Amino acid sequence: MLPTLMPTLMPTLDMHTILLGSTLVDVVAIAVLAWLVRRAGRVRDAARAAQREALETLRRDLATLVADAEERARVLEDSLGRRERSLGALLAKLERAERRPDGARPRPAAAPSGGLPELARRLGRRGKRGGGAPAEAADPAEARLLRDLEIGLGGGTR
């Protein structure tokens, strides 16, 4: 029985059948490779789109930060310009005060230690340096002014 089966199988495995089988395997391999290349292209395109979107977001954020920094710099420059003008006006006022006419009475210099208690005494207030208790109806603005003057003349600390 065995010899009869062999001759029937042999004619089906001829050279044309083997070439057809190998061609089909090659076509399937090419189709799989084409599918993989297209899939990789789609993945790459999706990644590029995500990167472009992230880049645009970063550009917008950077533009916002730069605009904020420029606005802050402009505000700071305006503030410094105003301060410079006010200091210039104060210096001019100080120069005018120093160039008084000869008949004008010079302003007394503040005493290095204890000039403000004298000022407070003349104003009718007695603080902790004045030796007494503060006045009962002391105006907070006057107290703040005296404190600022004391600090400005170097007689106090914060």
pLDDT (tens digit, 9 = 90+) per residue, 122-147? Answer: 555 544 444 444 444 457 877 787 78
The overall average pLDDT reported for the chain is 78
Across 1-10, 81-90, 123-132, 137-146, which has the greatest mean pLDDT?
Answer: 81-90
All residues at 6 or more sequence positions from 155 whose CB lies less than 8 Å from its CB, including other chains? 112, 113, 114, 115, 116, 129
Q: Mutual orientation of helices 140-152 and 115-123 as an angle, nearest 10°?
A: 160
All residues at 6 or more sequence positions from 114 whose CB lies less than 8 Å from its CB, including other chains? 129, 155
pLDDT of residue 117: 58
pLDDT of residue 151: 80
pTM: 0.40
pLDDT (tens digit, 9 = 90+) per residue, 18-69? Answer: 999 999 999 999 999 999 999 999 999 999 999 999 999 999 999 999 999 9
